[in-house]
A and B are shown apart, each in its own frame.
Chain A
Amino acid sequence: MSLAFLIEQLLNGVQLGVMLFLMAAGLTLVFGVMGLINLAHGSLYMVGAFFCAWIAGQTGSFWLGLGGGFLAAAATGALVEIVVIRRLYDRDHLDQVLATFALILIFSELARWVFGDRPLYLDVPAVLSGAVPLPGGGGYPAYRLAIIAVGLTTAVGLYLLIAKTRLGMQIRAGESDREMIGALGVDIRRLYTAVFALGAALAGLAGGMVGALQSVQVGMGEPVLILAFVVIIIGGIGSVKGALVGAVLVGVTDTLGRVFLPQLFGLLLPPSEATSVGSSLAAMAIYLLMAAVLTWRPKGLFPVDG
């Protein structure tokens, strides 16, 4: 096994992690500020991917598509917040789980209605279609490097937004004391809509970018949703820093597990059994990671108090 192979696999893990971060950031913000569990977050990811693919198909420009997906997801998020989510803030988690579970069903069928029954086509933009040489030989797809760059930029941007801006101050205030910010004269309703739309936009961005790598189809949001939940639980709910660390941890664990567990079992078992057993264990790896983290730290790696 060469060094280049190891570097490539690590990059793959980081890229998966960064993509999960875009999903997890929205989830964790919405939970931190509004105390809401949103199972329909994966649907917003799907909305972003569908609009991106559709606009790119109509205009021939991936970038217009990506921008459109981002905005469409933000708009959908704002709309859903105003019509439905707003009524759930003072409910317990159970009602939130049921309502957002219902939203998944509604979104999936609406997407099929609007965009048809077949997966949509979306390709990477020509500028990023090549590969970048890696030290030690081999190449790495430029588009995946771009995803890593976008994800890390977003992380920095979110940090600045929360640490330096007025909106960020309100968000921080909302995380520590929900009643207080109302008393301070902040328009809570608008703040909540803005935070929800921001989370939705990030999910839409992730959906659009990933859409070029995989299949844009109904139901694409649910597997990612589950992973994003694992991420925010590991990181500590409400913590953006935790979401980033958790996401990279999950991405790398999953990728390396998929690669090395089957090889590890290959030392003991015949090849086809080894790959089968190793792959089963790899599927469970991130859940084992999560259970281990929670056993050690019941509120995640970076717990947010309040």
Chain B
Amino acid sequence: MAERMREPLVNAVLVLALLIAPLTAVALDEPFYVGLASRVAILALAGVGLNLALGSGGMVSFGHAAFFGLGGYVAGIAALHAFEGSAFLAWPLEIGGSESMIVVWVVTLAVSAVVALAIGAVSLRTAGVYFIMITLAFAQMIYYFAISLPTYGGEDGLSIYLRSSLPFVDTGDPLSFFLVCYALLLSALFLTHRLVNSRFGAALQCARMNPERLATLGIAPFPVKLTAFTLSAMITGLAGALFAELNGFVSPAMLSWQRSGEIIVFVILGGVGRLFGPVAGAALFILLESFIGGWTDRWQLVLGLVLLSVVLFARGGVIGLLAGRARHD
């Protein structure tokens, strides 16, 4: 029983720590750590998205950077056209840029959904390693497309000179922007929690573990998985839009296969299938990257050794380590 109580406790501590850290940083006048916390929140959000496909649905997508990058490009392109006062599309409808964060979010969600439906419809015909690799292939296509897209900077990427705005919130202020990201992260966590524990979640679990049985219940596994994949992509896409706004910059690097790998790393590092796993994973990864990087040029070596140790010796990830392995056994 004690084990079962421990995971919610760890989760609560994690979420509070992520809130308290930037507040403390503001009090100490260290804005850099506010930015770092926003980074953690955003990448955790990307991980929460992937976790829905990967943890609950068993779909190991090696191409989620595609959605992350698409979100980034929506933010970047909207900002560019708003800044220049030019049109994204002149015909048949005139569509210009936008300075509203809400618009960026809505468009990101829509674009991610459409692309995920297309990619998912093809990819979900396969399973296992084939699925891993076909999602990678789609992401690579989008990556190469972005590199050779001269209108939006190609390899050089796009600068976002002005962060888009929200009513009643000064998004330019680091703490306010963090709180926006944090609120979205909590909403996504809440949403996935509800989803996983709903009838849909049960069907998704079943589609992962025993698709034949699901079919005998009169539910086709394919639409269930496709829906989960699409929702997952939308969440990751949203994270991408926020990431571009945080950095004031978007480039094809956001679409690279290493980025897809990193999002997977967040999920595994935290603990697969654990609701708050990506939060722990992203936090640990960013802290390692930031602090070892300041300490030695060979930081990638240290990072590699840490990741390897986590897989070999800490099964169930960070949350598993802290909260015990109650859920998996």
A residues lining the B interface (CB < 8 Å): 31, 37, 39, 84, 87-88, 91, 93-95, 97-99, 101-106, 108-110, 113, 226, 229-230, 233, 237, 276-277, 279-280, 283-284, 287-288, 290-291, 294-295, 298-300
Contacts and interface: CB of A to CB of B under 8 A. Distances in A.
Given A94-B60, A106-B308, 12 more contacts: A95-B315, A108-B300, A110-B301, A113-B298, A229-B136, A230-B137, A276-B150, A280-B148, A284-B145, A287-B141, A290-B134, A291-B141
Given A93-B60, A109-B298, A276-B150, A226 B134 contact: no
A7 B97 CA distance: 50
B122 interface: yes
A283 to B, nearest CB: 4
Q: 10 tightest A-B contacts by CB?
A: A105-B304, A280-B148, A109-B301, A102-B307, A106-B304, A283-B144, A102-B308, A99-B311, A287-B137, A298-B126
Nearest to A225: B257
A248 B304 CA distance: 34
Contacts of B136: 226, 229
A229 B132 CA distance: 10
8 contacts: A39-B261, A98-B265, A98-B269, A109-B300, A226-B136, A276-B148, A298-B127, A298-B130
B60 A101 contact: no
B130 A294 contact: yes
Contacts of B60: 93-94, 97
A113 B127 CA distance: 39
Nearest to A284: B141
A37 B312 contact: no
A298 B122 CA distance: 9
Nearest to B58: A92
Contact of B304 (A109, A290, A295): A109
Contact of B268 (A31, A87, A94, A229): A94
Contacts of A229: 133, 136
Contacts of A284: 140-141, 144-145
Given A109-B300, A233-B134, A37 B308 contact: no
Interface of B: 54, 60, 62, 122-123, 125-130, 132-134, 136-138, 140-141, 144-145, 147-148, 150, 257, 261, 264-265, 268-269, 272, 298, 300-301, 303-308, 310-312, 315
A287 B138 contact: yes
B110 to A, nearest CB: 23
A201 B300 CA distance: 26
B145 A106 contact: no
Nearest to B267: A94
Nearest to A104: B304
Nearest to B298: A109
A97 B148 contact: no
Contacts of B306: 102
A294 B137 CA distance: 11
Contact of B122 (A103, A106, A108, A294): A294
A214 to B, nearest CB: 20
Contacts of A31: 129
A95 B268 contact: yes
Contacts of A294: 122-123, 125-126, 130, 134
Contact of A291 (B137, B145, B312): B137
B125 A295 contact: yes
Candidate in A37, A95, A98 with the most chain B CB atoms within 10 angstroms:
A98
B148 A283 contact: yes
Contacts of B150: 276
A87 B125 CA distance: 31
Contacts of B140: 226, 284, 287
B222 to A, nearest CB: 13
B132 A93 contact: yes
B130 A299 contact: yes
Nearest to A108: B300
Given A94-B264, A109-B304, A298-B126, A226 B257 contact: yes
Nearest to B264: A97
B146 to A, nearest CB: 10
Nearest to B313: A87
